[in-house]
């Protein structure tokens, strides 16, 4: 039964699952609607919540890096997604990467096991009225709901394109042509590296830029609107012959063990599941036809006879012009009981999506309890990111990944970038700790289920 004291959340991705957990842990009855498996999407493969459809990496763990800092803040706020990710982590150097299936299964089990959450497998075609609601449908919002959101915003074609990288089996990679290492040997040798000579790189780039891509639909061809932080590899290669060598195929920090020499370019593969049987090609989001992917990517040394368990795919990602409609609390300005969260707001990436879901869940719960909403300080990565989403003055709003440039400046000038970032990270931790204590943010969080290892 949905009543005025309950919270409706539409979408069971990272943001929706996090928001549901945060609100439910504060005593709010949550009705979480997820349309899969009744209605699937071009990118999802399972019916599990929080399924990762692109990379399996949640980014750097270093506290002086934007994603590392944001993850540390989410840990302070008892994030469900972060705890599940850490329990399902796979080797990824200095990054946090997860086994996809184990992670999604653990999140689903946690949500289904929470006494205050009802998981409903049903498509919501319109935003409910007179009901406190969080819209967290993600970049693959169903057509019907996207149309209703378009009516609400008055903007019909606001989108960008994202893509998924291909995956190969570990046993099909030629070990005689590859080596294991992380850049600068700073971490465990968690990546499989496919080194290229200049001739091999030249041949690969030529084949890539001349390969056939999947034809976009008529209305999509008018404005493909690729997102700069996640370009298809063929789009990046078309911008210049050396673009890949300075981008995802950069060889810096890597040496061929037998010779000690730096290769001209390197394709890196990252473990994709807990068993270590699957690896994805880092930075290889693509819109090439599947037959072309097999032909072109088989030119990569070590992948000549690779078994491709998933080819890359391209899909349209929908997002709203958040600065025109949202507050940093994730609340809709013109409606006190409506919140948005996740990538549909322009918080780009897994961790940022989780962060906005966490804030929306906390604030929706506080509103239902009659408490004041929380605006997190701009000196924290969480607060800085959501302030950008809600208050940026850029004319052409685009999704934004967390970055250190979003943080409020330090009172003193520090010229060294690493020292400057470290100082900002230290300030963030200090001020978030004070903010949590002063606002009683975490006092009512109750962990209702053991989130240990899952099979």
Q: Give the per-residue pLDDT at 216.
A: 56
Q: Give the per-residue pLDDT at 278.
A: 86
Closest CA to 385 of 348, 425, 338: 348
Summarised one tens digit per residue, pLDDT across range 381-411 is: 999 999 988 887 666 677 778 888 888 888 8
Summarised one tens digit per residue, pLDDT across range 318-376 is: 888 888 899 999 999 999 999 999 989 988 889 999 999 999 999 999 999 999 999 99
Confidence of residue 57 (pLDDT cuts 50, 70, 90): very high
d(CA 337, CA 183): 47
State how beta strands 338-340 and 133-135 pair. Answer: parallel
State how beta strands 30-34 and 7-10 pair. Answer: parallel
Summarised one tens digit per residue, pLDDT across range 160-175 is: 666 678 989 888 999 9
Mean pLDDT is lowest, of 26-40, 93-107, 289-303, 382-396, for 382-396
Confidence of residue 248 (pLDDT cuts 50, 70, 90): very high
Closest CA to 138 of 340, 355, 321: 340
Per the CB < 8 A criterion, the answer to whether 302 and 178 are in contact is: yes
Kindly report the backbone phi and psi dihedral angles of residue 448, in degrees, each rounded to the nearest multiple of 5, phi listed first: -100, -5
- Token pair 């599940």 is found at 84
Confidence of residue 37 (pLDDT cuts 50, 70, 90): confident
Q: Give the per-residue pLDDT at 442.
A: 58
Say whether pLDDT at 94 is over 60: yes
Closest CA to 311 of 333, 291, 326: 291
Confidence of residue 36 (pLDDT cuts 50, 70, 90): confident
Average pLDDT (39-57) is 82
Summarised one tens digit per residue, pLDDT across range 252-298 is: 999 999 999 999 999 999 998 777 888 999 989 898 999 999 999 99
Say whether pLDDT at 58 is over 70: yes
Q: Cβ atoms within 10 A of the Cβ of 202, count? A: 14
d(CA 365, CA 132): 9
Q: What percent of the chain has pLDDT over 70?
A: 89
Say whether pLDDT at 128 is over 60: yes
Confidence of residue 44 (pLDDT cuts 50, 70, 90): confident
Q: Give the per-residue pLDDT at 49.
A: 95
Q: Give the per-residue pLDDT at 408.
A: 83
Q: Give the per-residue pLDDT at 164.
A: 73
d(CA 124, CA 145): 7
Say whether pLDDT at 448 is over 60: no
Q: What is the CA radius of gyration of the chain?
A: 22
Confidence of residue 1 (pLDDT cuts 50, 70, 90): low
Per the CB < 8 A criterion, the answer to whether 414 and 420 are in contact is: yes
Q: Give the per-residue pLDDT at 157.
A: 44
d(CA 314, CA 43): 8
Task: Tell me the pLDDT of the chain averaged across its residues.
Answer: 87
Say whether pLDDT at 447 is over 50: no
Between the alpha carbon of residue 448 and those of residues 6, 11, 79, 110, the distances in Å are 19, 22, 13, 9
Between the alpha carbon of residue 182 and those of residues 91, 186, 284, 297, 441, the distances in Å are 11, 7, 18, 22, 38
Q: Give the per-residue pLDDT at 349.
A: 87
Q: Give the per-residue pLDDT at 224.
A: 52
Reading the block at residue 146, the tokens are 């996207």
Confidence of residue 438 (pLDDT cuts 50, 70, 90): confident
Instruction: Give, for 47, the enclosing helix (H) or strand (E).
Output: none
Between the alpha carbon of residue 149 and those of residues 40, 137, 332, 338, 345, the distances in Å are 19, 11, 12, 12, 12
Q: Cβ atoms within 10 A of the Cβ of 362, count? A: 27
Q: Give the per-residue pLDDT at 127.
A: 94
Q: Give the per-residue pLDDT at 3.
A: 81
Say whether pLDDT at 451 is over 70: no
Reduced DSSP (H G I as helix, E B as strand, rest coil) percent helix, strand, coil of the chain, to 5: 35, 15, 50
Residue 163, SS3 per DSSP = strand
Q: Give the per-residue pLDDT at 21.
A: 97
d(CA 302, CA 403): 34
Q: Give the per-residue pLDDT at 454.
A: 34
């Amino acid at each position: 039964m949905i009543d005025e004291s309950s919270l409706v959340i539409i979408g069971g991705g990272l943001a929706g699952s996090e928001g549901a957990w945060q609100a439910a842990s504060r005593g709010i009855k949550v009705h979480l609607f997820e349309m899969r498996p009744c209605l699937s999407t071009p990118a999802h493969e399972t019916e599990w919540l929080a399924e990762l459809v692109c990379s399996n990496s949640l980014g750097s763990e270093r506290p002086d890096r934007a994603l590392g800092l944001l993850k540390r803040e989410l840990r302070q706020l008892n994030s469900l997604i972060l705890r599940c990710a850490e329990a399902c982590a796979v080797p990824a150097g200095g990054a946090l990467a997860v086994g996809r299936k184990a992670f999604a299964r653990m999140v689903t089990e946690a949500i289904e096991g929470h006494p205050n959450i009802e998981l409903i497998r049903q498509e919501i075609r319109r935003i409910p009225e007179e009901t406190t609601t969080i819209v967290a449908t993600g970049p693959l919002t169903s057509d019907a709901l996207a149309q209703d959101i378009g009516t609400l915003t008055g903007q019909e074609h606001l989108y960008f394109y994202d893509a998924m990288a291909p995956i190969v089996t570990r046993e099909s990679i030629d070990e005689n042509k590859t080596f294991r290492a992380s850049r600068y040997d700073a971490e465990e040798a968690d990546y499989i590296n496919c080194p290229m000579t200049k001739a091999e790189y030249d041949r690969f780039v030529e084949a890539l830029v001349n390969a056939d891509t999947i034809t976009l639909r008529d209305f999509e061809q008018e404005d493909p609107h690729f997102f700069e932080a996640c370009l298809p590899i063929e789009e990046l290669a078309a911008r210049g012959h050396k673009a890949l060598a300075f981008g995802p195929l950069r060889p810096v920090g890597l040496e061929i063990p037998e010779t000690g020499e730096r290769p001209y370019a390197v394709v890196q593969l990252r473990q994709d599941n807990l068993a270590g049987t699957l690896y994805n090609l880092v930075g290889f989001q693509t819109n090439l036809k599947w037959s072309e992917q097999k032909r072109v990517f088989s030119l990569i040394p070590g992948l000549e006879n690779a078994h491709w368990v998933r080819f890359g795919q391209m899909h349209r990602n929908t997002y709203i012009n958040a600065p025109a409609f949202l507050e940093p609390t994730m609340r809709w300005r013109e409606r006190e009981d409506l919140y948005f969260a996740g990538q549909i707001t322009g918080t780009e990436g897994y961790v940022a999506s989780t962060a906005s879901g966490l804030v929306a869940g906390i604030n929706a719960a506080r509103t239902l309890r009659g408490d004041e909403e929380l605006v997190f300080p701009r000196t924290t990565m969480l607060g800085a990111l959501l302030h950008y989403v809600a208050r940026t003055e850029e004319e052409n709003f685009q999704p934004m990944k967390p970055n250190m440039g979003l943080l409020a400046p330090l009172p003193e000038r520090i010229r060294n970038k690493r020292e400057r970032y470290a100082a900002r990270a230290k300030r963030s931790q200090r001020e978030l700790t004070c903010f949590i204590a002063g606002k009683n943010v975490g006092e009512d969080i109750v962990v209702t289920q053991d989130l240990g290892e899952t099979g």
